[in-house]
Structure 1
Amino acid sequence: MRKLTVLQVLPALQSGGVERGTLEIAAHLVAQGHRSLVMSAGGRMVAELEAAGSTHIGWPVGRKSLLTLLLIPQLRELWRREQVDIVHVRSRFPAWVVYLAWKGMSPEHRPHLVSTVHGYYRPGCYSRIMTCGERVIVISKTIQDYVQKAYHVEAGKLQLIYRGVDTSQYTPDYQPDAAWQQAWYAEYPQTRGKRLLLLSARLSRWKGAAAFVDMLRIVCRQYKDVHALLVGEIASDKQAFARTLQQKIHQAGLADSVTLTGYRKDVKQIMSMASIVYSLATEPEAFGRTTVEALSLGIPVIGYQHGGVAEQLAALLPEGAVQVGNVAEAAMLTLNWLEHPPEVTPNTQFSLQVMQQRTLEVYQAVMADAGQGAS
């Protein structure tokens, strides 16, 4: 099989599921002997990307400015110089820049184009660009249905590839090592000896932080050995919301029972110590990586029954699904599970290894189509 040069393009490599998926595909390409390039404005994940053998190209391709279109000639030159076989776009504005550069080249001299629809982009011409690929990857059945309904993409172009976790690393018997636990309890002594309830998400209203606090009002009235963790980045434009949330926590009398950790790289270790993990996003998640990570660790998840999270729960823990917005139902289920923890079905459906291999197969299929004379 021919060795490929694949360029993935996204705005930045700071944090998040899209970014993590980019690194996972990059690592698999390198492991299989292919050449992996990633273009972004940079971020804290670049070092990890490069350590795994990929090359990072630090261009501000996600900057929403007409000036970014000046990169189009440079993109074409880069593709020629680096002999790029596949360009894989993962975000709308970079996709427009890439597409304009790609469309202006003759088919026999341009790379092949793949796109991934990672979310519920607002319908319209701007978002339609994410269906521009010769193959369009969708990350859940929910997103597949959405793309077909909103953009009428021909079924043959769509490829459903669930996001996945490394099921050799995320196992029900995983425990963080003693050194990590010692460092954790030194930083968060208030969590020692407590049963942990975890919401892991960037801090924002739609991700369910306020609903989580409302639920804790009910739970903490009955259980004093519970401590809640809100683990996730607090973006600069969410500082006001964070202050409002802190006030809500204090007014509820929960100041000693809730900790906001901010961004953490060790979410896996934290989740493995939790009694229950939550997904309370008011808008449906396209997939919900944190949920499947927790379930793979054997940690029960309570989540709103919509989006990709509903698909995961249906497969691995159906009783964890609650009606969207029903805080009381989530609280009652929490109280029940603190007494009688449920068994989580082992994760065989949402595997990182399957996701990596199937993505590589998409790249190879596009190349094979070209070899058979497809335009």
Structure 2
Amino acid sequence: MKVVQVLPDLNGGGVERGSLEVAEALVKAGHESIVISAGGNMVAELVAADSRHVAWDLGKKSLLTFRHIWAVRKWLIKEQPDILHLRSRMPAWVVWLAWRGLPELSRPHLVMTVHGLYSVSAYSAIMLKGEKVIAVSDTVKAYISTQYPDTDMSKVVRIFRGVDQDDFVYGYQPSAEWTTAWYQQYPQTQDKIILTLPGRLTRLKGHHDFIELIERLKLAGLNVCGLIVGGEDPKRKAYAQELLACVNDKGLGDAIVFTSARSDIRDIYSISNAVFSLSTKPESFGRTVLEALRMGVATIGYNHGGVGEILSAMFPAGKVVLGDAEALDDAVKRVIADKLIPAKSACFTKQQMLEKTLLVYASLIDTPVISSPSNKES
């Protein structure tokens, strides 16, 4: 098979990481992999794994982006891919319009992945025009069925996103060098109960709920330190300043640490007594929750969306009703007092995600997958 994946850019993130994983699996299985994006810091990794990258900025939300339709159509005629896999709305519109202009018998097969709970609109409905539509969770599948009732649900395939057990090893411990460097940089975390909220600084991630949780736990006499691990969104600098002001106003400057974006998230998970997901709106999946649980770290989150699905399967003790502060406090205290941790689990693995994705491709062109993308995960 020749498979083309299309997304806005390759600058990091769950969608981008999943695209690289599928690209690598395709190559390992003997297929040809191409990714179209505006580029980014992950391109080198993609190319090193023997995929091709085509630099095309199709993700900019502007009418000018539609000028690429004819060039994309010409490129499709030249390349003759078997599968087009579209992963984002704006690029999907451009590529779909280019695809639709091809003679019907020469069109590649069309696959879409609905990665998010998008606003319901004609613009978002483009993601349901594939011959196969991949939903990344039961939450997303239900969203499609409810919000777009005219969709033929027989073409919707639920494939959970997955995390590689070799990247997030159960029981992982950081090196002595990392630990020394960490406590030199953040001495206020030494000998504390470490509670971690990962995620970019955006309003929906529940940072205020987390700050108030730390305040209540300290008033209850617990020796806690909260870590807010995530980069500042350039478009939301005022929100980042609002959070910092809130922490200072509450006198929590020594109890809450803003680390900004970090590349050593595994190590941070490993020293955490609990990791949190407090998004005020349901998420389509919840990769950070899965990463921490995969490592055997207690994880607590609001019981809705994909996060609720993951916690139900792997750590029910971490489920909390949205916005219930008392239940959140109780869950934290129970995890700490009873030293609760998730059991090792075979749920939501990268291997499962890759095998099922390649089978979707193969089903459209009646071609065998040829070989397993990578070593089996237990």
User: Shorter-chain TM-score: what band?
Assistant: over 0.9
Match of 1:373 in 2: none
Distance change (3 Å), C-alpha of 1:181 and 1:48: farther
Match of 2:107 in 1: 110
* 1:268 paired to 2:247: no
Match among 312, 315, 332 for residue 314 of structure 1: 312
Amino acid across the alignment from 2:231:
E
Amino acid across the alignment from 2:212:
D
* 1:232 paired to 2:230: yes
1:277-356 correspondence runs (5 A): 277-356=275-354
- Please give the alpha-carbon distance, in whole angstroms, between the structure 1 residues aligned to 2:266 and 2:18: 16
- Please give the alpha-carbon distance, in whole angstroms, between the structure 2 residues aligned to 1:333 and 1:40: 42
CA displacement, residues 40-65 of structure 1 (integer Å, 9 cap, x when unaligned): 11222223222322222221100111
* 1:167 paired to 2:162: no
Distance change (3 Å), C-alpha of 1:187 and 1:349: same
Larger mean CA deviation between 343-352 and 285-294 belongs to: 343-352
Normalising by structure 2, what TM-score?
A: 0.93
CA displacement, residues 254-274 of structure 1 (integer Å, 9 cap, x when unaligned): 101111111122212211221
Structure 2 unpaired stretches of 5+: 368-378
- Please give the alpha-carbon distance, in whole angstroms, between the structure 2 residues aligned to 1:25 and 1:183: 35
Matched position secondary structure for 1:88: strand
- Please give the alpha-carbon distance, in whole angstroms, between the structure 2 residues aligned to 1:40 and 1:85: 19
CA displacement, residues 249-294 of structure 1 (integer Å, 9 cap, x when unaligned): 0111110111111112221221122110001000001000000111
Mapped contact 1:167–1:347 kept (Cα < 8 A): no
Match among 171, 177, 182 for residue 180 of structure 2: 182
- Please give the alpha-carbon distance, in whole angstroms, between the structure 2 residues aligned to 1:45 and 1:257: 35
Match of 1:367 in 2: 365
Mapped contact 1:216–1:331 kept (Cα < 8 A): no
Larger mean CA deviation between 189-198 and 269-278 belongs to: 189-198
Structure 1 unpaired stretches of 5+: 370-375
Mapped contact 2:214–2:225 kept (Cα < 8 A): no
- Please give the alpha-carbon distance, in whole angstroms, between the structure 1 residues aligned to 2:38 and 2:181: 33
- Please give the alpha-carbon distance, in whole angstroms, between the structure 2 residues aligned to 1:288 and 1:313: 10
Match among 213, 217, 220 for residue 218 of structure 2: 220
Residue 192 of structure 1: CA displacement? 2.8
- Percent identity between matched residues is 43
Mapped contact 1:305–1:321 kept (Cα < 8 A): yes
Matched position secondary structure for 2:326: helix
Mapped contact 1:231–1:262 kept (Cα < 8 A): yes
Amino acid across the alignment from 1:329:
A
Match among 253, 256, 259 for residue 258 of structure 1: 256
- Please give the alpha-carbon distance, in whole angstroms, between the structure 1 residues aligned to 2:167 and 2:12: 20
Normalising by structure 1, what TM-score?
A: 0.93
CA displacement, residues 296-324 of structure 1 (integer Å, 9 cap, x when unaligned): 11111110010011111111111211110
Matched position secondary structure for 1:350: coil
Match among 51, 55, 72 for residue 54 of structure 1: 51
- Please give the alpha-carbon distance, in whole angstroms, between the structure 2 residues aligned to 1:77 and 1:341: 60
CA displacement, residues 171-210 of structure 1 (integer Å, 9 cap, x when unaligned): 3221122333333333333323322111111111111111
Match among 118, 122, 127 for residue 125 of structure 1: 122
Matched position secondary structure for 2:110: strand
1:25-174 correspondence runs (5 A): 25-152=22-149, 153-174=151-172
Matched position secondary structure for 1:108: helix
Larger mean CA deviation between 243-252 and 145-154 belongs to: 145-154
- Please give the alpha-carbon distance, in whole angstroms, between the structure 2 residues aligned to 1:90 and 1:248: 37
Mapped contact 1:303–1:320 kept (Cα < 8 A): yes
Residue 224 of structure 1: CA displacement? 5.5
Residue 223 of structure 1: CA displacement? 4.5
Residue 343 of structure 1: CA displacement? 3.3
Aligned-pair Cα RMSD in Å: 1.6
Matched position secondary structure for 2:301: strand
Mapped contact 1:61–1:97 kept (Cα < 8 A): yes
- Please give the alpha-carbon distance, in whole angstroms, between the structure 1 residues aligned to 2:354 and 2:96: 24
